[in-house]
Structure 1
Amino acid sequence: MAASSSSSSAASAVLLASLVVCGACLFGSAEASGAAHRVVDPEWHPATATWYGSAEGDGSDGGACGYGTLVDVVPMKARVGAVSPVLFKSGEGCGACYKVRCLDHNICSRRAVTVIVTDECPGGVCGGGRTHFDLSGAAFGRLAVAGAGGQLRNRGEINVVFRRTACRYGGKNIAFHVNEGSTSFWLSLLVEFEDGDGDIGSMQLKQGVGDLFS
């Protein structure tokens, strides 16, 4: 087991070096890849939202994206949520950042809340092709004007608008976490703190020795 762990760690380190060399593959720079991976959307779109977990909590530890306890510490700090399959995209949506704003001017703040996708909401109000955000209690409450978070949470499901936005992880560098269960024969990676307005287009990986990438 120790050998497998060591192999996975080595692979992760080599992957990081590979991605530094292949920055255009990761970040979809305008010079190298045009706008293919640029995802910031200036338009607002309709959706619905609910909340889960404790009223001021982070929803759940981890979730389908595998962030674990990172959801409750800076820079995420409970600004997280689950999304319906149309946004989750079989895991491709993990780590995406969205600005979400509710619409009732009597209780909703005019300021949008930025949330990070850390989980999937696969059924119920999230099913049937709906665009839905199931936010942490803390993130949902921040949609309201000051002091009205509890009142907004009591409404349950609300109408919102959303748009994709650039992620901002101040002081953090992109990181590659080797997921539990990885072995020398099977490697699973979680990309953390993907900053900026692009999506990862591809990764290149090679073993600790040799020059071939795959």
Structure 2
Amino acid sequence: MMHHRRSGQFLGLHFFFVAFASLSATGQPIHQLSDLHWQPATATWYGSPEGDGSDGGACGYGSLVDVRPLKARVGAVSPILFKNGEGCGACYKVKCLDRGICSRRAVTIIVTDECPGGYCSNGRTHFDLSGAAFGRMAISGNGAALRNRGEISVVFRRTPCKYPGKNIAFHVNEGSTDYWLSLLVEFEDGDGDVGSMHIREASSTEWLEMKHIWGANWCIIGGPLRGPFSVKLMTLSTGRTLSARDVIPRNWSPKATYTSRLNFY
């Protein structure tokens, strides 16, 4: 039975943006994830046997991992996939190889956490899945037997994230002020990961670069920063961009939730 607890500390800093978003007006082509081939890895499970996985996690999604669409699809990955937090939000299909106990069905997981030691150390490509996700790879009725095997060989590949009915949203993290503004992106279809973020103040034409601080959290130090703010993000995997105009209102507040009107799909 599994075992280790990952180093996911939740910094209780969250905030979503509701605003009018517009895709980049450059007419950019539709990019595809380049990693479409199955690759070898190993997998374990953690938490309760039929559980949904950990609360919080090293990406900073907090209680969102306990509810759909993340519920039961969360996963911790080794540093090679976690990418110091820039791998947060990426989606993978994982399936096991032993046809005697495993079905041909792959489970889809969303990176919400990191497993830095044990099976995940020494440059290994490893997935630590919720008990529910791990058991779902088995032939019907064999979930418990598969979990009893502990570490297993799997294959995996990137897959586009899909959040039907949801648009990209942003958390303004707790502790944000007019001089230190921290954001976290949620429900990003497609690549799922964020490679860079910029913010533009009211009545300004200059995009200010945000700094990646930990997990899926970004911040900007300056000020006083004056809203409403527009936000531009670029995905890590394929470099697609999306600009959300005036998504954070002038009278924004920490821990508020703002949702854009667009997504990548």
Smaller-chain TM-score bracket:
0.7 to 0.9
Counterpart in the other structure of 1:91: 85
SS of 1:104's equivalent in the other structure is: coil
How far apart are 1:41 and its partner, in Å?
A: 2.2
The letter for the 1-side match of 2:161 is C
Distance 1:123 1:132, change over 3 A: same
Q: Which range is displaced more, 50-59 or 178-187?
A: 178-187
Q: 2:179 aligns with which of 177, 185, 192?
A: 185
Q: 2:166 aligns with which of 153, 168, 172?
A: 172
* C-alpha distance in structure 2 between counterparts of 1:185 and 1:59, whole Å: 36
* C-alpha distance in structure 1 between counterparts of 2:151 and 2:159, whole Å: 23
Distance 1:199 1:93, change over 3 A: closer
Counterpart in the other structure of 1:141: 135
Distance 1:58 1:50, change over 3 A: same
Q: 1:80 aligns with which of 59, 74, 83?
A: 74
* C-alpha distance in structure 2 between counterparts of 1:127 and 1:97, whole Å: 21
Q: Is contact 2:86–2:193 with CA below 8 Å preserved after alignment?
A: no
* C-alpha distance in structure 2 between counterparts of 1:13 and 1:174, whole Å: 8
Unaligned runs of at least 5 residues, structure 1: 1-7
TM-score w.r.t. length of structure 2? 0.67
Q: Is contact 1:58–1:136 with CA below 8 Å preserved after alignment?
A: yes
Q: Is contact 1:24–1:33 with CA below 8 Å preserved after alignment?
A: no
Q: Is contact 2:52–2:72 with CA below 8 Å preserved after alignment?
A: yes
Q: What is the root-mean-square deviation of aligned Cα atoms in Å?
A: 2.4
Q: Is contact 2:17–2:171 with CA below 8 Å preserved after alignment?
A: no
Counterpart in the other structure of 1:128: 122
Distance 1:58 1:192, change over 3 A: same
Identity %: 69
Counterpart in the other structure of 1:24: 24
* C-alpha distance in structure 2 between counterparts of 1:56 and 1:182, whole Å: 37
Distance 1:46 1:112, change over 3 A: same
How far apart are 1:77 and its partner, in Å?
A: 1.6
How far apart are 1:209 and its partner, in Å?
A: 4.7
SS of 1:204's equivalent in the other structure is: strand
If each structure's helix is expressed as a fraction of its own residues, which one has the higher value?
Answer: 1
* C-alpha distance in structure 1 between counterparts of 2:24 and 2:193, whole Å: 11
Q: Is contact 2:89–2:193 with CA below 8 Å preserved after alignment?
A: no
SS of 1:141's equivalent in the other structure is: helix
Counterpart in the other structure of 1:68: 62
Q: Is contact 1:102–1:160 with CA below 8 Å preserved after alignment?
A: yes
Q: How does 1:149-164 map to 2 (within 5 A)?
A: 149-164=143-158
How far apart are 1:99 and its partner, in Å?
A: 0.3
Q: Is contact 1:99–1:112 with CA below 8 Å preserved after alignment?
A: yes
Distance 1:40 1:193, change over 3 A: farther
How far apart are 1:40 and its partner, in Å?
A: 4.8
> Which consecutive aligned stretches of 4+ in structure 1 deviate over 6 angstroms post-superposition?
none
TM-score w.r.t. length of structure 1? 0.82
If each structure's strand is expressed as a fraction of its own residues, which one has the higher value?
Answer: 2
Distance 1:13 1:63, change over 3 A: closer
* C-alpha distance in structure 1 between counterparts of 2:42 and 2:168, whole Å: 31
Counterpart in the other structure of 1:4: none
Q: Is contact 1:39–1:198 with CA below 8 Å preserved after alignment?
A: no
The letter for the 1-side match of 2:153 is N
Number of aligned positions between the proteins:
195
